[in-house]
């Protein structure tokens, strides 16, 4: 029998606007590494206790 139920970890993606250059970028909130803006290299998400600390402006939450 084929297993159809694969446990999916609840992941949250955020659409963040860079405060420096206004670039909009979709990032994974629970990342364990620093996420930088692809345009200006500004830090958008900083790891903090398993949950990302958002440095930019959150535009949208995608679940
Ligand atoms: Zn930027």
| CATH code for the domain of 41 | 2.20.25.100
CA distance 24 to 26: 7
Beta-strand runs (E) in 1-63: 13-17, 24-28, 35-36, 43-48, 51-54, 57-62
Predicted TM-score of the model (pTM): 0.73
Residue 18: domain span: 13-62
Which residues, by Cβ under 5 Å, contact ligand 1, an ion? 18, 20-21, 23, 37, 39-40, 42
CA of 29 relative to ligand 1 center, distance in Å: 17
Torsion of CA 14, 19, 24, 26, to 10 degrees: -30
Mean pLDDT of 47-58: 86
The pLDDT, as a whole number, for residue 8 is: 63
Instruction: Look at residue 43 and tell me if it is in a domain.
Output: yes
CA of 60 relative to ligand 1 center, distance in Å: 17
The CA radius of gyration of the chain, in Å to the nearest whole number, is 14
CA of 26 relative to ligand 1 center, distance in Å: 12
- The structural domain count of the chain equals 1
């Amino acid at each position: 029998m084929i297993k159809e139920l694969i446990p999916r970890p609840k992941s949250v993606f955020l659409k963040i606007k860079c405060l420096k250059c206004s670039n909009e970028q979709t990032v994974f909130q629970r990342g364990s590494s620093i996420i930088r803006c692809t345009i200006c290299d500004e830090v958008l998400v900083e790891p903090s206790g398993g949950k990302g600390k958002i440095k930019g402006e959150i535009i949208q939450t995608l679940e």
